Amino acid sequence: MEKRKDGFLIEKGATEKDFIFGTRAVMEAIHAGKEMDKVLVQKELNNDLIKELLQVCKANAVPVVRVPDAKLNRVTRKNHQGVVAYISSIEYASLDHVIESCFSVGKSPLVLILDRITDVRNFGAIARSAECAGIDAIVIPSKGSAQINSDAVKTSAGALNFLPVVRVKNLFYTCRDLQKMGLTLVAITEKSDKDMYEADFASPVAMIMGSEEDGISNELMGIADEKVNIPMLGKIESLNVSVSAGVAIYEAMRQRRK
């Protein structure tokens, strides 16, 4: 959280340009085609207007999070009516379209799955490396991921304006779908004895990077086709996730250039 000039706290990396508030205003913005990162709704509210909002969010695949009134008040002191929506700074892509586009031009798809990367600056740095290396798309979960706001775009050095980002409801089922499409699921994790440089990244691949807190979730590890590590020669056992992603991405690019 960050402190504003008026002394109130606001979500880290967010500015008043990144959110709107008020039930009608949020619904109108969704109807107008605004991409929403998530909508916060006060826990106790369940009137007809809120029910209408929830239906609009569901119809447009907008994530909704029920929160206490105190959290909404930390975002804005204005009359939010129990509803605050974070606006995404990008338009989300379709995963099916990305994969089909790759295969249609004879390209071997390479996508990056980010399992609960919550730090905006880490996300931006990963996106920057991914775009520079020609990654076809980044896949993120609709809940439990960094907010894609103006700070994320800035940290990515503008890469998020060009790199397709796919937001999905369930990473597990999405990974299963990618496997059915012919992609090999490769988990980049320190919990493996296999060296990353032994893996085949030239074929169609979906690389998984885990969260800053606890790495890749057990359910995704359980369905990964391969688990590989980044060799560590020093005394510290792990790299920052954005650095790890950069190393893995560029190993994939090196193999593909060969």
CATH of the domain at 188: 3.40.1280.10
Give the pLDDT of the chain (258 residues) as one tens digit per residue: 344 343 333 444 455 568 899 999 999 999 988 888 889 999 989 999 999 999 999 998 888 999 998 889 888 888 898 999 998 888 899 999 999 999 999 999 999 999 999 999 999 999 999 999 999 999 999 888 888 888 888 889 999 999 999 999 899 999 999 999 999 999 999 888 899 999 999 999 999 999 988 899 999 999 999 999 999 888 887 788 999 999 999 999 999 987
CA dist 128 and 219 (Å) reads: 28
Residue 188, beta-bridge partner list: 228
pTM of this prediction? 0.81
Same domain, 107 and 81: no
Do 150 and 74 sit in the same domain of this protein?
no
Tell me if 109 sits within 8 A of 96, measured CB to CB.
no
The domain in which residue 126 lies consists of 95-257
Among residues 87, 103, 124, which one ends one of the domains?
87
Cα-based distances in Å from 108 to 11, 140, 201, 252: 38, 21, 10, 11
| Residue 45 Cα distances to 52, 72, 75, 136, 165, angstroms | 12, 13, 18, 41, 32
What is the number of structural domains in the chain?
A: 2
Phi, psi (deg, nearest 5) at residue 231: -55, 135
Considering 52, 87, 122, which residue would you say is the last residue of a domain?
87
